[in-house]
Amino acid sequence: MRIYNPKEWFKAVFYVRKSDTLQTLYPYLILTAICSGGIAFFELEYLNLSSKSWLKNITVVHSLLGFALSLLLVFRTNTAYDRWWEARKQWGALTNVSRNLALKLNAFLEDDDVALRHFYRKAIPMYSQSLFAFLKSDYTTFMLDENEHPELGDAFSRKKHGPNQVAALIFKKTNLLYKQNKISGEQLIVINNELEGLTNICGACERIKNTPIPHSYSTFIKKFIAIYVVTLPIGYVFSLGYFVILAVPFILYVLASLELIAESIEDPFGNDFDDLPLDKMAENMKKHTHEVLHP
Protein backbone atom coordinates (compact mmCIF):
# COMPACT_ATOMS: atom_id res chain seq x y z
CA MET A 1 0.00 0.00 0.00
CA ARG A 2 1.39 3.35 -1.02
CA ILE A 3 1.59 6.07 1.63
CA TYR A 4 0.96 9.50 0.12
CA ASN A 5 3.36 12.25 1.09
CA PRO A 6 1.84 15.73 1.56
CA LYS A 7 5.04 17.17 0.07
CA GLU A 8 4.17 15.55 -3.27
CA TRP A 9 0.89 17.48 -3.33
CA PHE A 10 2.69 20.69 -2.41
CA LYS A 11 5.25 20.25 -5.20
CA ALA A 12 2.58 19.30 -7.74
CA VAL A 13 0.49 22.39 -6.94
CA PHE A 14 3.11 25.09 -6.38
CA TYR A 15 6.21 23.94 -8.28
CA VAL A 16 6.10 25.10 -11.89
CA ARG A 17 8.07 22.79 -14.20
CA LYS A 18 9.33 23.70 -17.62
CA SER A 19 6.59 21.53 -19.12
CA ASP A 20 3.81 23.06 -17.03
CA THR A 21 1.02 24.56 -19.09
CA LEU A 22 1.03 27.65 -16.85
CA GLN A 23 4.30 28.83 -18.40
CA THR A 24 2.90 28.48 -21.92
CA LEU A 25 -0.45 30.10 -21.13
CA TYR A 26 0.83 32.88 -18.88
CA PRO A 27 0.75 35.64 -21.56
CA TYR A 28 -2.70 34.56 -22.75
CA LEU A 29 -4.04 34.55 -19.19
CA ILE A 30 -2.85 38.13 -18.68
CA LEU A 31 -4.37 39.19 -22.00
CA THR A 32 -7.66 37.48 -21.12
CA ALA A 33 -7.76 39.24 -17.75
CA ILE A 34 -7.24 42.61 -19.44
CA CYS A 35 -9.94 41.92 -22.04
CA SER A 36 -12.36 40.72 -19.37
CA GLY A 37 -11.73 43.84 -17.32
CA GLY A 38 -12.28 46.02 -20.40
CA ILE A 39 -15.56 44.31 -21.25
CA ALA A 40 -16.75 44.56 -17.64
CA PHE A 41 -15.93 48.27 -17.46
CA PHE A 42 -17.56 48.95 -20.84
CA GLU A 43 -20.82 47.21 -19.90
CA LEU A 44 -21.09 48.34 -16.28
CA GLU A 45 -19.66 51.85 -16.36
CA TYR A 46 -19.97 53.11 -19.95
CA LEU A 47 -23.13 51.43 -21.22
CA ASN A 48 -24.52 51.22 -17.68
CA LEU A 49 -26.58 48.15 -18.58
CA SER A 50 -29.14 46.90 -16.09
CA SER A 51 -29.53 43.32 -14.91
CA LYS A 52 -32.57 43.05 -17.18
CA SER A 53 -30.50 43.47 -20.36
CA TRP A 54 -30.82 40.70 -22.93
CA LEU A 55 -27.02 40.28 -22.80
CA LYS A 56 -27.46 38.57 -19.43
CA ASN A 57 -29.16 35.63 -21.16
CA ILE A 58 -26.10 34.91 -23.30
CA THR A 59 -24.91 32.68 -20.45
CA VAL A 60 -27.49 30.13 -21.59
CA VAL A 61 -25.59 29.74 -24.85
CA HIS A 62 -22.34 29.27 -22.91
CA SER A 63 -23.96 26.55 -20.82
CA LEU A 64 -25.03 24.64 -23.93
CA LEU A 65 -21.72 25.09 -25.71
CA GLY A 66 -19.78 24.22 -22.55
CA PHE A 67 -21.22 20.71 -22.63
CA ALA A 68 -20.20 20.24 -26.27
CA LEU A 69 -16.74 21.65 -25.58
CA SER A 70 -16.23 19.31 -22.63
CA LEU A 71 -17.07 16.30 -24.83
CA LEU A 72 -14.60 17.44 -27.48
CA LEU A 73 -11.82 17.91 -24.92
CA VAL A 74 -12.47 14.51 -23.33
CA PHE A 75 -12.31 12.83 -26.71
CA ARG A 76 -9.18 14.81 -27.57
CA THR A 77 -7.29 13.85 -24.42
CA ASN A 78 -8.41 10.21 -24.58
CA THR A 79 -7.26 9.90 -28.18
CA ALA A 80 -3.89 11.43 -27.34
CA TYR A 81 -3.45 9.16 -24.30
CA ASP A 82 -4.37 6.10 -26.35
CA ARG A 83 -1.51 6.94 -28.71
CA TRP A 84 0.88 7.36 -25.77
CA TRP A 85 -0.21 4.11 -24.15
CA GLU A 86 -0.04 2.18 -27.44
CA ALA A 87 3.54 3.39 -27.90
CA ARG A 88 4.39 2.31 -24.35
CA LYS A 89 2.93 -1.16 -24.98
CA GLN A 90 4.94 -1.53 -28.17
CA TRP A 91 8.18 -0.69 -26.39
CA GLY A 92 7.23 -3.03 -23.58
CA ALA A 93 6.74 -5.73 -26.21
CA LEU A 94 10.14 -4.85 -27.70
CA THR A 95 11.71 -5.33 -24.27
CA ASN A 96 10.14 -8.80 -23.98
CA VAL A 97 11.09 -9.77 -27.53
CA SER A 98 14.70 -8.71 -26.96
CA ARG A 99 14.94 -10.63 -23.70
CA ASN A 100 13.32 -13.77 -25.11
CA LEU A 101 15.58 -13.70 -28.16
CA ALA A 102 18.64 -13.30 -25.93
CA LEU A 103 17.51 -16.12 -23.61
CA LYS A 104 16.83 -18.53 -26.47
CA LEU A 105 20.11 -17.78 -28.23
CA ASN A 106 21.93 -18.16 -24.94
CA ALA A 107 20.53 -21.69 -24.71
CA PHE A 108 21.22 -22.54 -28.38
CA LEU A 109 24.75 -21.17 -28.69
CA GLU A 110 27.80 -22.92 -27.32
CA ASP A 111 29.16 -21.41 -24.12
CA ASP A 112 32.61 -21.00 -25.62
CA ASP A 113 31.41 -19.42 -28.87
CA VAL A 114 32.60 -15.95 -27.94
CA ALA A 115 32.31 -14.45 -31.42
CA LEU A 116 28.63 -15.29 -31.93
CA ARG A 117 27.68 -14.31 -28.42
CA HIS A 118 29.49 -11.02 -28.87
CA PHE A 119 27.64 -10.39 -32.14
CA TYR A 120 24.19 -10.93 -30.63
CA ARG A 121 25.12 -8.95 -27.52
CA LYS A 122 25.69 -6.02 -29.85
CA ALA A 123 23.01 -6.65 -32.46
CA ILE A 124 19.94 -7.31 -30.28
CA PRO A 125 20.10 -4.09 -28.21
CA MET A 126 21.23 -2.24 -31.32
CA TYR A 127 17.77 -2.79 -32.77
CA SER A 128 16.10 -0.87 -29.95
CA GLN A 129 18.78 1.82 -30.17
CA SER A 130 18.36 2.19 -33.92
CA LEU A 131 14.56 2.32 -33.51
CA PHE A 132 14.99 5.00 -30.86
CA ALA A 133 17.18 7.00 -33.21
CA PHE A 134 14.79 6.46 -36.11
CA LEU A 135 11.74 7.62 -34.15
CA LYS A 136 13.63 10.63 -32.85
CA SER A 137 14.85 11.37 -36.40
CA ASP A 138 18.39 11.50 -35.07
CA TYR A 139 20.43 8.75 -36.67
CA THR A 140 23.63 9.82 -34.92
CA THR A 141 22.34 9.39 -31.38
CA PHE A 142 23.78 5.88 -31.06
CA MET A 143 26.83 4.77 -32.98
CA LEU A 144 28.78 1.53 -32.91
CA ASP A 145 32.51 1.23 -33.00
CA GLU A 146 33.14 0.68 -36.71
CA ASN A 147 36.42 -1.10 -35.97
CA GLU A 148 34.55 -3.55 -33.78
CA HIS A 149 31.50 -4.16 -35.98
CA PRO A 150 31.62 -2.18 -39.22
CA GLU A 151 28.64 -4.06 -40.66
CA LEU A 152 26.41 -2.89 -37.82
CA GLY A 153 27.67 0.65 -38.01
CA ASP A 154 26.39 0.81 -41.59
CA ALA A 155 22.87 0.42 -40.21
CA PHE A 156 23.02 4.03 -39.12
CA SER A 157 23.51 5.45 -42.57
CA ARG A 158 21.30 8.51 -42.96
CA LYS A 159 20.15 7.14 -46.32
CA LYS A 160 18.89 3.85 -44.90
CA HIS A 161 16.15 2.64 -42.57
CA GLY A 162 18.21 1.91 -39.45
CA PRO A 163 15.94 -0.68 -37.76
CA ASN A 164 15.51 -2.59 -41.03
CA GLN A 165 19.26 -2.74 -41.51
CA VAL A 166 19.86 -4.13 -38.02
CA ALA A 167 16.97 -6.63 -38.36
CA ALA A 168 18.33 -7.77 -41.73
CA LEU A 169 21.74 -8.40 -40.17
CA ILE A 170 20.21 -10.43 -37.33
CA PHE A 171 18.08 -12.46 -39.77
CA LYS A 172 21.06 -13.07 -42.04
CA LYS A 173 23.36 -14.14 -39.21
CA THR A 174 20.70 -16.45 -37.72
CA ASN A 175 19.99 -18.07 -41.07
CA LEU A 176 23.73 -18.57 -41.53
CA LEU A 177 23.86 -20.43 -38.22
CA TYR A 178 21.17 -22.78 -39.53
CA LYS A 179 23.09 -23.38 -42.76
CA GLN A 180 26.25 -24.09 -40.75
CA ASN A 181 24.29 -26.57 -38.56
CA LYS A 182 24.98 -24.53 -35.43
CA ILE A 183 21.24 -24.43 -34.75
CA SER A 184 18.59 -26.89 -35.92
CA GLY A 185 15.52 -26.18 -38.01
CA GLU A 186 13.33 -26.56 -34.92
CA GLN A 187 15.45 -24.02 -33.06
CA LEU A 188 15.21 -21.60 -35.98
CA ILE A 189 11.41 -21.88 -35.85
CA VAL A 190 11.48 -21.28 -32.09
CA ILE A 191 13.24 -17.92 -32.43
CA ASN A 192 11.43 -16.90 -35.61
CA ASN A 193 8.57 -15.26 -33.67
CA GLU A 194 11.02 -12.96 -31.90
CA LEU A 195 12.77 -12.12 -35.17
CA GLU A 196 9.46 -11.21 -36.82
CA GLY A 197 8.36 -9.37 -33.70
CA LEU A 198 11.13 -6.83 -34.13
CA THR A 199 9.80 -5.63 -37.48
CA ASN A 200 6.17 -5.78 -36.34
CA ILE A 201 6.92 -3.49 -33.41
CA CYS A 202 8.81 -1.09 -35.65
CA GLY A 203 5.83 -0.91 -38.00
CA ALA A 204 3.46 -0.17 -35.14
CA CYS A 205 5.69 2.64 -33.86
CA GLU A 206 5.95 4.12 -37.36
CA ARG A 207 2.16 4.04 -37.63
CA ILE A 208 1.86 6.08 -34.43
CA LYS A 209 4.55 8.55 -35.45
CA ASN A 210 3.45 9.04 -39.06
CA THR A 211 -0.30 9.27 -38.41
CA PRO A 212 -0.87 12.41 -36.35
CA ILE A 213 -4.26 13.62 -35.19
CA PRO A 214 -5.80 15.71 -38.00
CA HIS A 215 -4.65 19.32 -37.80
CA SER A 216 -8.13 20.65 -38.60
CA TYR A 217 -9.55 18.92 -35.53
CA SER A 218 -6.98 20.44 -33.19
CA THR A 219 -7.36 23.86 -34.82
CA PHE A 220 -11.14 23.77 -34.42
CA ILE A 221 -10.85 23.07 -30.69
CA LYS A 222 -8.45 26.00 -30.23
CA LYS A 223 -10.82 28.35 -32.06
CA PHE A 224 -13.76 27.00 -30.08
CA ILE A 225 -11.95 27.62 -26.76
CA ALA A 226 -10.86 31.12 -27.80
CA ILE A 227 -14.35 32.25 -28.89
CA TYR A 228 -15.97 30.61 -25.86
CA VAL A 229 -13.64 32.31 -23.37
CA VAL A 230 -13.61 35.73 -25.04
CA THR A 231 -17.40 35.93 -24.96
CA LEU A 232 -17.77 34.71 -21.36
CA PRO A 233 -17.48 38.15 -19.70
CA ILE A 234 -20.30 39.59 -21.85
CA GLY A 235 -22.96 37.66 -19.97
CA TYR A 236 -21.35 36.74 -16.69
CA VAL A 237 -20.38 40.31 -15.83
CA PHE A 238 -23.98 40.85 -14.62
CA SER A 239 -23.67 38.14 -11.97
CA LEU A 240 -19.93 38.26 -11.24
CA GLY A 241 -19.11 41.90 -11.80
CA TYR A 242 -15.40 42.66 -11.95
CA PHE A 243 -14.66 39.19 -10.61
CA VAL A 244 -14.69 38.07 -14.26
CA ILE A 245 -11.11 39.43 -14.39
CA LEU A 246 -10.07 36.40 -12.32
CA ALA A 247 -12.76 33.88 -13.25
CA VAL A 248 -12.41 33.99 -17.04
CA PRO A 249 -8.59 33.52 -17.13
CA PHE A 250 -9.01 30.55 -14.78
CA ILE A 251 -11.55 28.98 -17.14
CA LEU A 252 -9.14 29.56 -20.02
CA TYR A 253 -6.36 27.91 -18.02
CA VAL A 254 -8.44 24.78 -17.41
CA LEU A 255 -9.71 24.39 -20.97
CA ALA A 256 -6.49 25.32 -22.78
CA SER A 257 -4.38 23.14 -20.46
CA LEU A 258 -6.35 20.07 -21.50
CA GLU A 259 -5.62 20.86 -25.14
CA LEU A 260 -1.92 21.46 -24.43
CA ILE A 261 -1.63 18.22 -22.46
CA ALA A 262 -3.20 16.33 -25.36
CA GLU A 263 -0.72 17.95 -27.77
CA SER A 264 2.15 17.02 -25.47
CA ILE A 265 1.35 13.31 -25.21
CA GLU A 266 -0.03 12.66 -28.70
CA ASP A 267 3.55 12.29 -30.00
CA PRO A 268 5.11 9.89 -27.45
CA PHE A 269 8.42 9.80 -29.34
CA GLY A 270 9.24 13.49 -28.92
CA ASN A 271 11.51 15.28 -26.46
CA ASP A 272 8.90 16.69 -24.10
CA PHE A 273 8.90 16.00 -20.37
CA ASP A 274 5.88 13.70 -20.68
CA ASP A 275 7.16 11.66 -23.62
CA LEU A 276 8.37 8.09 -23.29
CA PRO A 277 11.91 7.65 -21.91
CA LEU A 278 13.03 5.61 -24.91
CA ASP A 279 16.71 6.14 -24.17
CA LYS A 280 16.37 4.56 -20.71
CA MET A 281 14.34 1.63 -22.06
CA ALA A 282 16.89 1.03 -24.82
CA GLU A 283 19.71 1.17 -22.27
CA ASN A 284 17.92 -1.39 -20.06
CA MET A 285 17.55 -3.76 -23.03
CA LYS A 286 21.26 -3.43 -23.70
CA LYS A 287 22.10 -4.14 -20.07
CA HIS A 288 19.88 -7.22 -19.83
CA THR A 289 21.02 -8.64 -23.16
CA HIS A 290 24.65 -8.30 -22.15
CA GLU A 291 23.95 -10.08 -18.87
CA VAL A 292 22.21 -13.03 -20.57
CA LEU A 293 24.66 -13.55 -23.45
CA HIS A 294 27.83 -12.94 -21.49
CA PRO A 295 30.22 -15.76 -22.51
Tell me, yes or no, whether 175 lies in a domain: yes
Coil, strand or helix: which one is 47?
Answer: coil
Tell me, yes or no, whether 201 lies in a domain: yes
Tell me, yes or no, whether 188 lies in a domain: yes
Residue-level pLDDT at 142: 42
What's the number of domains the chain is made of? 2
Residue-level pLDDT at 57: 74
Tell me, yes or no, whether 245 lies in a domain: yes
Out of 6-10, 166-170, 207-211, 281-285, least confident range: 6-10
Residue-level pLDDT at 250: 93
Instruction: Let me know whether 145 and 117 are in one domain.
Output: yes
Instruction: Let me know whether 165 and 115 are in one domain.
Output: yes
- In Å, how far are 22, 54, 248 from 243, measured between CA atoms? 20, 20, 9
Instruction: Let me know whether 50 and 64 are in one domain.
Output: yes
Instruction: Let me know whether 219 and 207 are in one domain.
Output: no
Is pLDDT above 70 for 10? Answer: no
Instruction: Let me know whether 50 and 175 are in one domain.
Output: no
Torsion angle (degrees, nearest 10) of CA 245, 247, 252, 258: 160
Average pLDDT, the chain: 83
Tell me, yes or no, whether 252 lies in a domain: yes
The pTM score is: 0.79
Instruction: Let me know whether 190 and 222 are in one domain.
Output: no
Instruction: Let me know whether 169 and 284 are in one domain.
Output: yes
User: Considering Cα of 218, then 220, then 221, then 223, what sign does the dihedral take?
Assistant: positive
Which range of residues forms the domain containing residue 239? Answer: 24-83+214-265
CA distance linking residue 147 with residue 161, whole number of Å = 22
- In Å, how far are 25, 34, 240, 281 from 235, measured between CA atoms? 24, 16, 9, 52
Tell me, yes or no, whether 284 lies in a domain: yes
Out of 32-46, 87-101, 194-208, least confident range: 32-46
CA distance linking residue 95 with residue 83, whole number of Å = 19
How remote is the C-alpha of 147 from its chain's centroid? 36
Tens of pLDDT, residues 175-230: 999 898 888 888 888 888 888 999 999 999 999 988 888 888 888 999 999 999 99
- In Å, how far are 3, 159, 164, 195, 211 from 200, measured between CA atoms? 40, 21, 11, 9, 17
Instruction: Let me know whether 178 and 286 are in one domain.
Output: yes
Instruction: Let me know whether 160 and 285 are in one domain.
Output: yes
Instruction: Let me know whether 236 and 131 are in one domain.
Output: no
Tell me, yes or no, whether 13 lies in a domain: no
Instruction: Let me know whether 120 and 192 are in one domain.
Output: yes
Tens of pLDDT, residues 23-34: 888 889 999 999
Instruction: Let me know whether 287 and 159 are in one domain.
Output: yes
Residue-level pLDDT at 206: 92
Residue-level pLDDT at 234: 87
Out of 121-125, 165-169, 218-222, 270-274, least confident range: 270-274
Tens of pLDDT, residues 58-78: 878 888 888 899 999 999 999
Tell me, yes or no, whether 235 lies in a domain: yes
